[in-house]
């Protein structure tokens, strides 16, 4: 995987337009508040990770010291400062997910992919990352893959999701037990109905 830091970074024309649209949403003098969405835009343009040049570019656009942008980029786990695989798996390790079997979910991912948390498969397809609460505790255990949440996981459903992705199929996001949203589960833990 190429983790070389590019010498420069600029938004592509369509993203430069998008960046301007984001900035004008904020009051005059408060443009620095656009830091998070601009870093996100830069990361998406750069294949899922933020090189140093992109962070500096965002700081320049917002007219803030580069260190401010580095502080933000290094604080939030949604920003990746190194290359990640095509599928970034974020495993929730906070208490509700842990109580509902999050450890088994993590071990299943690691065993299926042959890597530990923090690692990337040699084919560049998968990266595993451990994160704090993903904000979907009621559907624990939960993992996020790219922009999608997968909820009410079991080791079997995790295997199926990973098999699908490896085969180029898009698995269904959301509850894996068929639960509607966050409705209360049935007594055997199966999907509650809205």
CB atoms within 10 A of CB 44: 12
| Beta strand 143-145 pairing with 148-151 | antiparallel
The angle, 0 to 180 degrees and rounded to 10, between the axes of the packed helices 35-45 and 13-23 is 170
Site string for ligand FES, 46-85 (x = CB under 6 A): ----------------------------------------
Among the listed ranges 72-80, 90-98, 111-119, 159-167, the one in contact with ligand FES (CB under 6 A) is 90-98
Q: What's the CA gap between 38 and 158, in Å, rounded?
A: 32
By CB under 6 A, residue 96 contacts ligand FES: yes
Cis peptide before 2 (omega within 30 of 0): no
Kindly state the number of chain residues that form the binding site for ligand FES, as judged by CB under 6 A.
Answer: 11
Q: How far is the CB of 97 from ligand FES (least distance, A)?
A: 3
Q: How far is the CB of 57 from ligand FES (least distance, A)?
A: 33
Binders of ligand FES in range 126-145 (CB under 6 A): 133-137, 140, 142
Q: How far is the CB of 149 from ligand FES (least distance, A)?
A: 9
Rule CB under 6 A: choose which of 15, 94, 154, 182 binds ligand FES: 94
Q: How far is the CB of 103 from ligand FES (least distance, A)?
A: 12
Site string for ligand FES, 141-180 (x = CB under 6 A): -x--------------------------------------
DSSP codes of every residue in 9-69 = ----HHHHHHHHHHHTTSPTT-GGGGHHHHHHHHHHHTTT---HHHHHHHHHHHTS-HHHH
Cβ closest to ligand FES, residue 62 vs residue 137: 137
Q: Of all helices (H) and strands (E), which one includes residue 87? A: strand 87-92
Would you call 188 helix, strand, or coil by DSSP? coil
Q: Of all helices (H) and strands (E), which one includes residue 91? A: strand 87-92
By CB under 6 A, residue 38 contacts ligand FES: no
Residues that bind ligand FES in the complex, under the rule CB under 6 A: 92, 94, 96-97, 133-137, 140, 142
């Amino acid at each position: 995987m190429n983790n070389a830091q590019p010498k420069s970074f600029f938004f592509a024309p369509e993203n430069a337009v998008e960046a301007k649209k984001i900035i004008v949403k904020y009051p005059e003098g408060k443009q620095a508040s656009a830091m998070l969405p601009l870093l996100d835009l830069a990361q998406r343009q750069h294949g899922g990770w933020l090189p140093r040049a992109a962070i500096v570019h965002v700081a320049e656009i917002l007219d803030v010291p580069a260190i401010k942008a580095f502080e933000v980029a290094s604080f939030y786990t949604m920003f990746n400062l190194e290359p990640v695989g095509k599928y970034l798996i974020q495993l929730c390790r906070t208490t509700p997910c842990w109580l509902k079997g999050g450890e088994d979910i993590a071990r299943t991912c690691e065993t299926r992919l042959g890597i530990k948390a923090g690692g990337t498969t040699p084919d560049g397809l998968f990266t595993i990352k451990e994160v704090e609460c993903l904000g979907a505790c009621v559907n624990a255990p939960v993992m996020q893959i790219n922009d999608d949440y997968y909820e009410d996981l079991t080791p079997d459903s995790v295997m199926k999701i990973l098999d699908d992705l490896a085969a180029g199929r898009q698995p269904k996001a959301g509850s894996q037990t068929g639960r509607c949203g966050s409705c209360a589960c049935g007594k055997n833990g199966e999907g509650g109905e809205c």
